[in-house]
Amino acid sequence: MNIVTNFQIINEMKRSQYYRLSLGLVATVEKNGSRTYNDKDRFSWFYNTKYKTTIYGQGNIGDIRFYTDHYIKDMVLAVYFGDNFEEFIFDFDIPMVNSKGIDFYLGHILKEVETKYEEMVKNNELKKLEEKPKGDASKILNNPGSVSYEDLKAYMEEQRRNRQL
């Protein structure tokens, strides 16, 4: 899990007793005489490619890595979860942090991300089940070399309808 936010919120995260300072990897490396983005840190490379900005590693709590993006001015957290770095945006809840502490707030965010991610995965699986490919009956005659089973079913259904007329 990766969290990208502004420097002010990173300073709040540093108040956690579990926070460990880790400046991450260097953003660019020299290859063939020119500077290119370092692809050793997959998430940093992904973020840079998607948003065209450089993020800077600040530290971690376990396997949660924190980055700062100096172009984020709002009090928000961008949480990236999973192998595909699914993005979840949260407003930073200052009253909750002040009343219950930063560790409680991070636990709350983690629980919400996992819940939303599970819902998203279930919805994607349902969409895949609903989206059955429609066959193209004309492929049998026009391009028989690329006929799929769905195309054959559509052709047989069309033939059955024509016989009934």
Q: 142: domain range?
A: 134-165
The verdict on 81 and 105 lying in the same domain is: yes
Same domain, 25 and 97: yes
Q: Both 29 and 103 in a single domain?
A: yes
Over residues 8-29, mean pLDDT: 85
Same-domain status, 125 and 165: no
What is the per-residue pLDDT across 89-114, written as a single tens digit (0 to 9) for each?
Answer: 999 999 999 999 999 999 999 999 99
Specify whether the CB–CB gap between 75 and 9 falls below 8 A: yes
- Residue 116 has φ and ψ, to the nearest 5°, of -65, -40
Distance CA 54, CA 81 (A): 19
pTM above the 0.85 mark?
Answer: no
- Note whether 145 and 124 are same-domain residues: no
Whether residues 121 and 157 share a domain: the answer is no
Q: Domain check: are 87 and 123 in the same one?
A: yes
End-to-end CA distance of the chain: 60
pLDDT tens sequence across 118-161 = 999 998 888 877 766 677 888 888 888 888 888 888 888 888 88
